[in-house]
Each structure stands twice: as structure tokens, then as C-alpha cells.
Amino acid sequence: MARIRAAVFDAYGTLLDIHAAMAAHAARLGPDWRCISQDWRAKQMEYTWVRSLAGPAHHVPFFALTREALAVVAETHGITDRALLADVLAAYRTLSAYPEVAPTLQALRAPGIARAILSNGEPDMLADAVRAAGIETLLDDVLSVEAAGVYKPAPAVYRLATDRLGLEPAEIAFLSSNPWDAFGARAFGMRVFWVNRGGGPDEYGLRGAVAELRDLGGLLPALA
């Protein structure tokens, strides 16, 4: 089996807490904020898949889809406070990283494993995110699907990583908390580590086919 020479991470949900934006304004959103946040995420992902399937002419940047999804979910849940929605949307650009993220990225430096992000986010959105999360200096590269013009799990997205890093898929450890993303990377030939933070059920036949972690703290032992 090829030696792993790079670790490529999904950003939203894997390195960054996607529910932190609504958690920061939970008092204003009310007791159902977790449900609202989950609905927002589901709608956001739905929009990426629909636009990808509709073709290149329908591609728009991720932050625009995030804004659009928030508006729909707000209407569904009867949220009419525009200032609140603006604050939540702004908070999405500065999500906090999970606590084990920085130590894990730092630890990968010693064995010489390259560290990169491969994300649906557009470049300026990702620049804001990694800066706010305090992990900017712990990454060797940040790759956006905008270079491919299509969203995950299209093969062209994963090819961005192999092309930029100059590696074969089997030389890359790909980490994602999203089962559909893990499936896409596995189909492309990458060595996948499914970061199943919520302890969710098996999807796409991942369990047993890829390494499964509860968080990124288990990555170094798994690589060893």
C-alpha cells in the first residue's frame, strides 16, 4: 500500500463547527436553534448538488448558496428578524475550529505529511475561515472547488488535490465528517478517514470499507 504523503481535510463540519454560527446567536433564535441549524445545513448541501447536476452554467459560489439556504430556512421557521439573519450569516464566515484540530495539524508536521483543505467554500470565504479559526499557519494549501466549477462529490473536485500536490490518490489521506464526501473521495481512490463526530449510522457502505474516527484526535494513531 502506498505511503500516505498528504492529509487533505474537508473544512465545514470536519475542521470547522458548522453549527457555531447559530450557537453564537442561540438566545435570539430560541430553543429550536439546533433544528434550524441542521435544516440550514441540509438545504445548503441540497443547493450544491442541484446546481452541480444542472450543469456549469448554474454554478454559483458557496457563500451565495449559504445565504440563499438561510433565507429559505428562516421563512420556514418564521424568523423575520433581518438583523439576526445578517449576524448569523456573518458568523458563518468565522466558524470556530473543533478543539483537536490545531494539535492534529501541528502533529502532522513532524512526519512530513502535507496538510491541505479541499472545500466547497470559495477562496475568500476559506481565507476568512482559516484565519478566524487560528489554523492559517498550520496548513500548506487551501483548495476551493471554484477551480473546478462544480461541487463535491464530483471527481473533478478531488482531482484538484492530486494535481496540486502532485500525488496519486492512494498517497492522500482524505478526511471528512460528511458521508457523501467520504464516499466521493473513496470512489476517486483516496485513502478515506470518515470523521463520524455524531456517531451516525453507516452510509454508502463506508463502515468497514474506510477508517472511521470519532474526531481528528484519532488520526495520528490511525496513520501509524
Closest CA to 80 of 71, 69, 89: 71
**Is 90 exceeded by the pLDDT of residue 1?**
no
Amino acid symbol at 194: W
**Is 90 exceeded by the pLDDT of residue 2?**
no
Rg (CA), the chain: 17
Residue 224: its pLDDT value, please?
80
Rounded distance, CA 170 to CA 172, Å? 5
Q: Which CATH architecture has domain 6-17+95-223?
A: 3-Layer(aba) Sandwich (3.40)
Half-sphere exposure of 128 (CA within 13 A, CB side): 12
Percent of the chain with pLDDT over 70: 100
pLDDT tens, position by position, 23-36: 999 999 999 999 99
Residues of the chain with CATH 1.10.150.240: 20-92
Mean pLDDT of the chain: 97
E strand or H helix at 191: strand 191-195
pLDDT tens, position by position, 122-168: 999 999 999 999 999 999 999 999 999 999 999 999 999 999 999 99
Single out the catalytic residue among 10, 17, 39, 181.
10
Is residue 124 annotated as part of the catalytic site, yes or no? no
pLDDT tens, position by position, 180-202: 999 999 999 999 999 999 999 99
**Is 80 exceeded by the pLDDT of residue 179?**
yes
All three cell numbers of 173, joined, read: 489521506
Residues of the chain with CATH 3.40.50.1000: 6-17+95-223
Residue 87 phi/psi, 5° resolution? Answer: -70, -40
pLDDT confidence band for 15 (50 / 70 / 90): very high
Asked whether the beta carbons of 160 and 147 are under 8 A apart, the reply is yes
Q: Which CATH architecture has domain 20-92?
A: Orthogonal Bundle (1.10)
Over residues 86-98, mean pLDDT? 98
Residue 17: its pLDDT value, please?
98
Q: Is 199 left (phi over 0), alpha (psi -120 to 50) or beta?
A: left
Over residues 173-181, mean pLDDT? 98
Question: Which pTM was predicted?
Answer: 0.96
